């Protein structure tokens, strides 16, 4: 063992005091959101009907490089941050690689993931604005849990629309949210117009994220003092998640280590943006160079096989459009156990960075992902989330490449969360019953055919 400890913790005084906004360093910015009614760039006042005022300001701010983290948010962060940067000594040994592998672990909090970084910020801004209620949707349940925790802390009422099949298959996730005081409604529900309409037309539906989003937006609009909060995709969420990358960079500088390869899983893109943008900022400013790899599931390959085009963010087509790598808003990813990565598009920010070739992308099949997850659990102790395990898979592949090439590269990946609520998936893998589904070109053509015709 060398002198690098297993876990490097920054002190609480080293917790970043501002988030990093990479858009300020980009010459070509991500394309603006479009209002679906007018197909014109959406204005702040239009967005403020849906989102909190300060979140809208952050959403549209392409120029301020550092945005201060409010003191109350920093105080909350101190309950679980700075998170550890871990040297994966035991995984390295199992692989017999000369590569040095690090991971930034975001799972040491009850939400089980990085989602809390943005949830507490958004809950804070909602409280500061004088709101009493917030609404959101959740699929796999990590975002709903994180927001429930944030709202409990600031004494806001949290209304979660949970995709019906998740509500039924993940009763424990639902119960965690209720323990934090949230009310959780299976979607589609009978509590909203759109929910009633969908239930009428499709009485046996088990719901979808798109439908739950529409219900949450409608519910917020009908309450006197509420807004809708979203846990990924948006610029503001990528901004809040930058605390991950800022801490990673500070810890690595403290250790005197420079990463060669930085790896993150990518669903909506916020965790990858959070981990990578401080490093991408150095690339943009010409200070340093790094390989950055986005990892997506082969079943939902928006970056690696999608189109870069304006598209709807939700299947209901009520939210603003954004320019992104997309499989089409009507693309239904096949069953996958990484619910957090089943999104037809990608954040506008990650999409534009990918288009500018500042990041690479690759896709992996889920059985290979669970093989990597199992090896990681048995060597490094922590049982990883299926989403995070996509990054583990590619970190292992890169470490094996280093072994083959005899290179001592330094790899860092984001371990975004734990898999404690994903044991159904692990069970299928343990029983040899997990399949890999990869969409055919014909499957993808269907999604592309319905892309809106907009040229910006």
Is the dihedral angle over the CA atoms 366, 367, 371, 373 positive or is it negative?
positive
CB of 238 to a copy of itself, least distance (A): 23
User: What number of chain residues touch a copy of itself (CB under 8 A)?
Assistant: 45
Number of H helices, E strands in the chain: 18, 15
Of 290, 310, 331, 426, the residue at the interface with a copy of itself (CB under 8 A) is 426
Planar angle of CA 244, 247, 250, nearest 5 degrees: 150
Q: Which range touches a copy of itself (CB under 8 A), out of 70-78, 126-134, 208-216, 266-274?
A: 70-78
The answer to the question of residue 142 lying near a copy of itself (CB under 8 A) is no
Nearer to a copy of itself by C-beta: 40 or 78?
78
Site string for a copy of itself, 370-399 (x = CB under 8 A): ----x--xxxxxxx----------------
C-alpha pair distances (Å), 161 with each of 123, 124, 286, 317, 402: 17, 21, 44, 18, 45
d(CA 429, CA 371): 8
Could you give the residue ranges of the DSSP H alpha helices within 78-208?
89-95, 116-128, 142-154, 164-169, 171-179, 193-201
Report whether 118 contacts 270 (CB < 8 A): yes
Nearest to 291, CA basis, from 282, 304, 299, 303: 282
Q: Which range touches a copy of itself (CB under 8 A), out of 8-16, 223-231, 297-305, 387-395?
A: 8-16
The answer to the question of residue 181 lying near a copy of itself (CB under 8 A) is yes
CB of 445 to a copy of itself, least distance (A): 38
Nearer to a copy of itself by C-beta: 170 or 323?
170
The answer to the question of residue 109 lying near a copy of itself (CB under 8 A) is yes
Nearest to 33, CA basis, from 18, 12, 19, 50: 50
Nearest to 149, CA basis, from 114, 176, 188: 176
The answer to the question of residue 108 lying near a copy of itself (CB under 8 A) is yes
The answer to the question of residue 418 lying near a copy of itself (CB under 8 A) is yes
d(CA 79, CA 440): 46
The answer to the question of residue 299 lying near a copy of itself (CB under 8 A) is no
Q: Which residues bind a copy of itself (CB under 8 A)?
A: 1, 5-7, 9, 11-12, 75-76, 78-80, 86, 90, 108-110, 112, 149, 152-153, 171-172, 175-176, 178-181, 374, 377-383, 418, 420-421, 423-424, 426-427, 430
């Amino acid at each position: 063992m060398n002198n690098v400890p297993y876990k490097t913790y920054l002190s609480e005084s080293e917790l970043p005091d501002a988030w990093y906004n990479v858009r300020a360093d980009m010459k070509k910015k991500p394309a603006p959101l479009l209002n679906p009614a007018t197909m014109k760039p959406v204005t702040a006042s239009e967005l403020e009907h849906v989102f909190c005022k300060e979140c809208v300001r952050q959403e549209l701010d392409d120029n301020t490089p550092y945005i201060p983290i409010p003191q109350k948010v920093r105080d909350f962060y101190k309950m679980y941050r700075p998170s550890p940067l871990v040297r994966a000594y035991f995984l390295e040994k199992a692989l017999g690689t000369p590569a040095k592998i690090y991971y930034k672990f975001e799972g040491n909090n009850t939400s089980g993931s990085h989602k809390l970084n943005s949830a507490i910020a958004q809950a804070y801004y909602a409280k500061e604005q004088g709101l009493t209620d917030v609404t959101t949707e959740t699929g796999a349940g990590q975002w709903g849990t994180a927001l429930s925790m944030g709202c409990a802390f600031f004494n806001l009422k949290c209304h979660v629309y949970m995709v019906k099949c998740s509500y039924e298959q993940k009763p424990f996730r639902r119960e965690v949210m209720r323990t934090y005081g949230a009310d959780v409604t299976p979607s589609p529900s009978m509590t909203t117009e759109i929910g009633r309409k969908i239930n009428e037309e499709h009485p046996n539906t088990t719901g979808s994220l798109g439908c739950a989003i529409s219900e949450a937006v409608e519910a917020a609009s009908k309450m006197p003092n509420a807004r809708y909060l979203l846990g990924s995709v948006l610029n503001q969420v990528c901004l809040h998640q930058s605390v991950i990358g800022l801490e990673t960079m500070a810890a690595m500088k403290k250790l005197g280590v420079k990463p060669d390869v930085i790896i993150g899983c990518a669903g909506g893109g916020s965790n990858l943006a959070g981990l990578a943008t401080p490093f991408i900022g150095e690339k943009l400013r010409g200070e340093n160079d790094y390989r950055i790899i986005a990892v997506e599931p082969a079943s939902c390959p928006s970056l690696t096989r999608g189109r870069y085009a304006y598209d709807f963010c939700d299947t209901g087509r009520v939210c603003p459009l954004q320019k992104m790598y997309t499989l089409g808003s009507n693309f239904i990813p096949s069953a996958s156990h990484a619910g957090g990565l089943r999104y037809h598009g990608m954040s506008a920010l990650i999409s534009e960075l990918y288009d500018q070739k500042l990041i690479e992308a690759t896709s992996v099949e889920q059985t290979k992902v669970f093989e990597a997850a199992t090896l990681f659990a048995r060597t490094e102790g922590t049982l990883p989330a299926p989403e995070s395990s996509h990054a583990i898979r590619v970190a292992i592949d890169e470490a094996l490449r280093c072994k083959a090439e005899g290179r001592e590269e330094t790899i860092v990946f984001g371990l975004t969360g734990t898999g404690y609520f994903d044991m159904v998936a692990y069970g299928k893998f343990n029983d040899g019953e997990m399949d890999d589904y990869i969409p055919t070109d014909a499957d993808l053509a269907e999604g592309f055919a319905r892309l809106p015709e907009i040229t910006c």
